[in-house]
Amino acid sequence: MTLKAVYLESDVFMVCLTHALSTEREEVMGLLMGEIDEERALHLSAVTILRRSDKQPDRVEISPEQQSDASIKADQLAKELKRPMRVVGWYHSHPHITVWPSHVDVRTQANYQQMDDGFVGLIFSVFNEDKATKHSKIQVTCFQSREGNSSYERVEVPLHIVPSYNISHACLGALVDLPRILLEEEDEAYSRNVCLTVCQLDAPPLLPHSAAPHA
């Protein structure tokens, strides 16, 4: 059953957008936490930023370990805030392209909904220049998936930004973690490239292939 609406706290929106604007070369992603009310409206009040093990310009992936860590964090927040809290969504960026989810995004969302039909996806389109005005614009979409005739289809869910009077402890922690996570990603990519270069230098030279003698 499709969600009726999604209510996103403005400090969570700020963290997601800051993360999306941290790089224009690859997609970034994170997980969203909150709760669903009896009217099938989803309330998002916390976010966790995920470290990418493989940086790609057109896709992102969540490892089972990251999902487990996020669930543990949601349980901790639920105890601190004394209210229900669990992982109920994901977000990722679309740098230099439109906000609409790709067929891979829609299928990924469908997989999440098989585990939790209240799960939702957000996409932040950033660094996308309007060809007419030459101005960069930022767009956000909120969606779920449903089965179509031959494949899964996108279902747009109404998104409402709820003003926050201050930034929550959880969102402040996510902002503080962002520079560290970006540094860890760069360190890992650098180490991987150095290792690849060393392996190539240590590899034995290829011998020229000699042609077979003519009869």
End-to-end Cα, the chain, rounded Å: 75
Domain count, the chain: 1
208 inside domain:
no
212 inside domain:
no
* pLDDT value of residue 99: 96
**For the domain that residue 119 is a member of, what is the CATH number?**
3.40.140.10
* pLDDT value of residue 42: 98
CB 47 within 8 A of CB 32: yes
* pLDDT value of residue 214: 56
214 inside domain:
no
Cβ-count burial 135-168 (b if 16+ within 10 Å, e if not): eeeeebbbbbbeeeeeebebeebebeeeeeeebb
Backbone angles phi, psi at 150, to 5 degrees: -125, -15
196 inside domain:
yes
210 inside domain:
no
* pLDDT value of residue 88: 96
* pLDDT value of residue 39: 94
207 inside domain:
no
* pLDDT value of residue 211: 53
* pLDDT value of residue 207: 61
179 inside domain:
yes
Q: Which domain holds residue 59?
A: 5-202
Identify the segments of the chain with pLDDT beneath 70: 53-55, 196, 200-215
* pLDDT value of residue 202: 66
**pTM of structure:** 0.85
